[in-house]
Amino acid sequence: MKCLETESLISYAYRLMDEPAASEVRVHLGECPRCRGIVEQYGRLDAVLGEWKTAEPTAAFDGRVRQAVEAQQAGRAARWGWGWSWARGLALASLGILMIAGGVWLAQGRRRVTNLSQVAVRQPRPTVSAQNPVPMAGLRSPGIKPHADVRPSEATAETQSASSSLNEDKDAQALEDYDLAANFELLSEIPKGERRVVN
């Protein structure tokens, strides 16, 4: 009869094998005194190992665990509190930045409107008349020259005055666009026969 592997005997002794395999070992042990002796030895080892006892926890143990848990809870609550205050601060700071940015934006918009209204005051909407059939005589519009009825010296002086005012303005391009747009309709109304170019 062939003896079983030691691993099989240990597995049997320490319940590391499932029942079908354990049944086979049990049958073999009934017929093999050597293998039975080895299994008994592992059984004694199990009993000897059981002699190693350990102590109960000290009386203070439970209290220490409770204290640690409570400290953890308190720390967590503090972290939450700090988190909320931090979030509140961030929200307030964001709101402040938004308000400042909004104020700056509004101020810039108002200044732009003021500039445009100043230009409008400086350059009253021209009207077509016998003395000034070309309404754009005093305005700086590319390709348009003053009417012959207006004396060149007067027209030049007026134009220079308007140009110097405009040159002072930082937003000259925007104003040019404004002039063209504002006067395009009037220009288109000038009769062809009256349009004369002064050299």
Q: Is 59 in the site for other proteins (CB under 8 A)?
A: no
Q: Is 34 in the site for other proteins (CB under 8 A)?
A: no
Q: Is 54 in the site for other proteins (CB under 8 A)?
A: yes
Name, in order, each residue with C-beta under 8 angstroms of 183's C-beta and a sequence gap of 6 or more.
126, 135, 136, 139, 141
Q: Is 18 in the site for other proteins (CB under 8 A)?
A: no
Whole-number Cα distances in Å, 76 to 37, 136, 142: 59, 76, 73
Nearer to other proteins, 52 or 131 (CB): 52
Only segment of 55-63, 121-129, 143-151, 185-193 that touches other proteins (CB under 8 A) = 55-63
Tally the residues of the chain: 199
Residue 107: exposed, middle, or buried by beta-carbon count in 10 A (0-12, 13-18, 19+)?
A: exposed
Q: Which of 2, 53, 170, 192 binds other proteins (CB under 8 A)?
A: 53
Residue 70: exposed, middle, or buried by beta-carbon count in 10 A (0-12, 13-18, 19+)?
A: exposed
Q: Which of 6, 85, 141, 160 binds other proteins (CB under 8 A)?
A: 6
Least distance CB 27 / other proteins (angstroms): 21
Q: Is 49 in the site for other proteins (CB under 8 A)?
A: yes
Q: Retrieve residue 12's tokens.
A: 């049997």
Least distance CB 95 / other proteins (angstroms): 33
Least distance CB 78 / other proteins (angstroms): 15
| Pick from 115, 153, 159, 165: nearest CA to 136 | 159
| Pick from 132, 111, 123: nearest CA to 180 | 123
Task: Say how many residues touch other proteins, by CB under 8 A.
Answer: 32
Residues that bind other proteins (CB under 8 A): 6-7, 10-11, 13-14, 16, 41-42, 44-58, 61-62, 64-66, 68-69, 72
